[in-house]
Amino acid sequence: MFSSFSIPSLNSTLDLSLQQKIDHKTKPLGSLGALEHIAFRLGKIQQTLTPDVSKPKMIVFAADHGVVAQGISLFPQEVTPQMVMNFLQGGAAVSVFCQQHQVPLRVVDVGVNADLVPHPLLGVRKVAYGSQDFSQHAAMTSKQVALAIQAGVEEANDAMDDGVNLLMFGEMGIGNTGVSSCMMTVLMGISAQDSAGRGTGLDASGVSHKAKIIEQSIARAEQETGQTMDCWSAQTLAEQVGGFEIIAMAGAMLQCAQRQTAFVVDGFICTVALLFAQKVSPNVVEYAIFAHQSHEKAHSRLLKHLKADAILALDLRLGEGSGAILAYPLIQSACVFLNCMASFESAGVTDTQGDKS
């Protein structure tokens, strides 16, 4: 299934023209800072000197996790469907921020352990009623991995077929910070102590317990597969310690990149989804815009590993796409300055900087 993704490296044909256009706006060189980098990246992804993000969409993938039974979260599993309904009813942070910025929101059930009430904003692509407790068994079957990936691919395709030119991703699933930490441990070859964080508010003892469960789960999986974690394929990793919403997000990211569409990466969990997608097809990272550096302790290490600069650093640790939607106005502004701001020539302003592109 993963072999179907063939993502090229970004074309550099327009690089010089984009940089010249940025540098010849009526401003000192580099004075718009990160906005200039965003504008350049969007132009390169869309292969245009006039990038456009006027039709965005937020997709939040939701699922439950069997490993929650091991006490890795402060909140019980029934909070997942409760929060999904809160999203749909417009009461969650991501909901109100999407309303503020007039960005359509879609919530996709890929593995919530409940039957949700139908709603116009709800997409139902349920793979199962939650993953298995991966401290005891593999998290999912090969078929379930395929279904989760396909859920993300189809959601991304539906959006892009409708003209969406910027996708933002979020997630909901009690315990998914622990699942992400486990996946990060495997993907980066680091210790569970280095990847496990507070999540929704664990104390030091809770974080230590989470790290212990991660270690036990990886040891169980290594014994079951007969391979050390550094030898696992993307398929094996997903089966053994993945989460449905994380794998679905990865599928959506891969499909965006395959169709040369930029996507916005939210916080820690969403970045782990990208790290997994990178294992499938390394060039997928070139199509990503990183919204923020979260307060989750391992996120800065993850961003450094991906050589990524996040737009915001607001000590957020909410998830659900909240950081991605908060970054959207700045992404808009990057397009506005590149498309609408006067050049020295058009404004009749002397350019004392010369052509340093």
Q: Summarize pLDDT for 299-344 with one digit per residue, the tens.
A: 999 999 999 999 999 999 999 999 999 999 999 999 999 999 999 9
Q: Considering the domain boundaries, does residue 158 fall inside one?
A: yes
Is 40 within a domain? no
Q: Give the model's confidence band at 354: pLDDT under 50 very low, under 70 low, under 90 confident, else very high.
A: low
Q: E strands, 64-205, where? A: 105-111, 122-124, 166-172
Structure tokens at 57: 């969409």
34 in a structural domain: no
Radius of gyration in angstroms for the set of CA atoms belonging to the chain, rounded to a whole number:
21
Predicted confidence (pLDDT) at residue 96 exceeds the cutoff of 80: yes
89 or 201, which is more confident: 89
What's the average model confidence in pLDDT over 241-258?
98
Which range marks the domain in which residue 170 is found? Answer: 56-338
Q: Identify the CA nearest to 72 among candidates 181, 183, 190.
A: 181
pLDDT in tens, 145-164: 999 999 999 999 999 999 99
**Does this model's pTM top 0.85?**
yes
The pLDDT, as a whole number, for residue 351 is: 85
Residue 148 counted as domain residue: yes
| 8 Å CB contact between 240 and 221 | yes
Residue 2's pLDDT is 75
- Residue 46 — pLDDT band, cuts 50, 70, 90? very high
- Give the model confidence (pLDDT) of 10-27 as tens digits: 999 999 999 999 999 999
Residue 307's CATH number: 3.40.50.10210
Question: Quick one: pLDDT at residue 3?
Answer: 74
pLDDT at position 62: 98
Q: What is the pLDDT of residue 357?
A: 44
Residue 20, in any domain of the structure? no
Which residues are designated catalytic?
A: 320
Report the 10 Å Cβ neighbour count for 242.
30
User: In total, how many domains does the chain have?
Assistant: 1
Evaluate whether residue 48 is within a structural domain.
no
User: Does 355 have pLDDT greater than 60?
Assistant: no
Residue 224 within any structural domain of the chain: yes
pLDDT (0 to 100) of residue 220 = 98
User: What is the rounded average pLDDT of the residues 240-250?
Assistant: 98
Q: Which two tokens stand for residue 353?
A: 């900087």
Residue 286: how many other CB atoms lie within 10 Å: 15
Pairing of strands 263-265, 288-290: parallel
Among 51, 230, 238, 55, smallest CA distance to 152 is for 238
User: For all residues of the chain together, what is the average pLDDT?
Assistant: 95
d(CA 254, CA 276): 10
